[in-house]
Amino acid sequence: MASIALKTFIGLRQSSPENNSINFSKSLPTNQTHRRLRINASKSSPRVTGRNLRVAVIGGGPAGGAAAETLAKGGIETFLIERKMDNCKPCGGAIPLCMVGEFDLPLDIIDRKVTKMKMISPSNVAVDIGQTLKPHEYIGMVRREVLDAYLRDRAAEAGASVLNGLFLRMDMPKAPNSPYVLHYTSYDSKTNGAGEKCTLEVDAVIGADGANSRVAKSINAGDYEYAIAFQERIRISDDKMKYYENLAEMYVGDDVSPDFYGWVFPKCDHVAVGTGTVTHKADIKKFQLATRLRADSKITGGKIIRVEAHPIPEHPRPKRLQDRVALVGDAAGYVTKCSGEGIYFAAKSGRMCAEAIVEGSENGKRMVDESDLRKYLEKWDKTYWPTYKVLDILQKVFYRSNPAREAFVEMCADEYVQKMTFDSYLYKKVAPGNPIEDLKLAVNTIGSLVRANALRREMDKLSV
């Protein structure tokens, strides 16, 4: 929610990500099923004979589903391996408006269209956010089990082979252009749940298998800091659900998280209540209890229907690419600080990586190498790295103490901040600002921080 609130404060300007998109061979309608990429493959790459290029996508979340669909449409023999076809990741489930159009998502998989948000400070001062939204604008709320299944099904319709299996390890190529050998346990209907050990030879691998990525371990991609996200799905009465019909709540304070926020997000027939932390993982259940207490009467009497917990990466891995293996989504570490957003960036990175493979292989006719996959990383970093840096700064400035969080909530009451934040979040580009309003925002931000520091000093005196 705070995605670009300080953009003018640090002097960031960025062009639209669309300017960096891959060119297509001809103009096509945005809703056309098959899109053919312009051929720019290196002529020195050896041709694949007797078959098309084979690529395995490990992981069937938004990153894996988007990657597999793009590969299959681009002429690649595609295998998607996913263990939990009904996986319910503990995820707030918010997606920006631009994702609905970019990924042709049907409206019936969106549980709620959030047009109002409440940002609630440590002292329970609530600021209403959303007054600058246009009538057609909203934040979509989805359930991951619904979104993920839809993207996997669409990949299968495009020609990808979707395998219910657990990826175990892979053997590296023994010579240039020789295959990777993947080892996995297959759980199809014939094995009756026992599983069957299988192998698969492929020419390239996309690791979309989350924060605990086995693909990342296979290429020694290095570790990263991670948060623990904890979420309870709570079914509340119809009259209480009416309150959350198009409203989401975000709570900040040391009680709900020392370095993140707590949330209450509406779903189809229940609310998702959760929190997360990097620095105090052992206390996550205490923070979750505090989040429920803050929501108080609005969820009282509700029934917990599901409890979920999962690691969330805090920054990109030291290495995201090796030879013909690339990481995307959570496996690469593409979750933003401050807001904790990951769904859009997962799907976008999966698509970008797949596009680089399709383009580099001449639609599956040539072998690819590391230079082809590196184009995906270069495009990704150029397009989104500034956004990640801004949110990193925001988290360090405003999540460090309760007085700073009070200043943050105070700043969110500003209509200009809300407009810039929503415009940037909904369309994933830094919106052009008004120089005069930018200056006012900088002055107000400094003033809020000064007041926060003064309040913190007074609170420190009281605690002595």
What integer is the mean pLDDT of 286-300?
Answer: 96
What integer is the mean pLDDT of 210-235?
Answer: 94
Residue scoring higher pLDDT (190 or 148): 148
Residue scoring higher pLDDT (155 or 38): 155
pLDDT at 10: 32
pLDDT at 20: 41
* Whether the predicted pLDDT of 65 surpasses 60: yes
pLDDT at 4: 38
253: left (phi over 0), alpha (psi -120 to 50) or beta: left
* Whether the predicted pLDDT of 14 surpasses 70: no
Residue scoring higher pLDDT (373 or 340): 373
Structure tokens that stand for 164 in this block: 């219910």
pTM here is 0.85
What distances in angstroms separate CA 45 from CA 57, 230, 325, 352, 364, one per listed residue? Answer: 22, 47, 17, 21, 12
Lowest mean pLDDT among 198-207, 278-287, 442-451: 442-451
pLDDT at 461: 54
What integer is the mean pLDDT of 132-153?
Answer: 95
* Whether the predicted pLDDT of 21 surpasses 50: no
pLDDT at 16: 39
Question: Percentage of residues in the chain with pLDDT exceeding 70?
Answer: 82
pLDDT at 87: 75
Give the HSE-up count for residue 250: Cα atoms under 13 Å, Cβ half-sphere.
22
* Whether the predicted pLDDT of 56 surpasses 90: yes
pLDDT at 452: 56
pLDDT at 2: 41
* Whether the predicted pLDDT of 245 surpasses 90: yes
What distances in angstroms separate CA 157 from CA 72, 311, 443, 446, one per listed residue? Answer: 9, 31, 53, 53
Q: Give 225's pLDDT tier (boundaries 50, 70, 90).
A: confident
pLDDT at 259: 92
What integer is the mean pLDDT of 294-313?
Answer: 93
* Whether the predicted pLDDT of 41 surpasses 50: no
pLDDT at 27: 38
Q: Give 332's pLDDT tier (boundaries 50, 70, 90).
A: very high
pLDDT at 13: 32
pLDDT at 132: 92
pLDDT at 432: 58
* Whether the predicted pLDDT of 196 surpasses 50: yes
pLDDT at 36: 45
* Whether the predicted pLDDT of 204 surpasses 70: yes
Lowest mean pLDDT among 166-170, 172-176, 335-339: 335-339
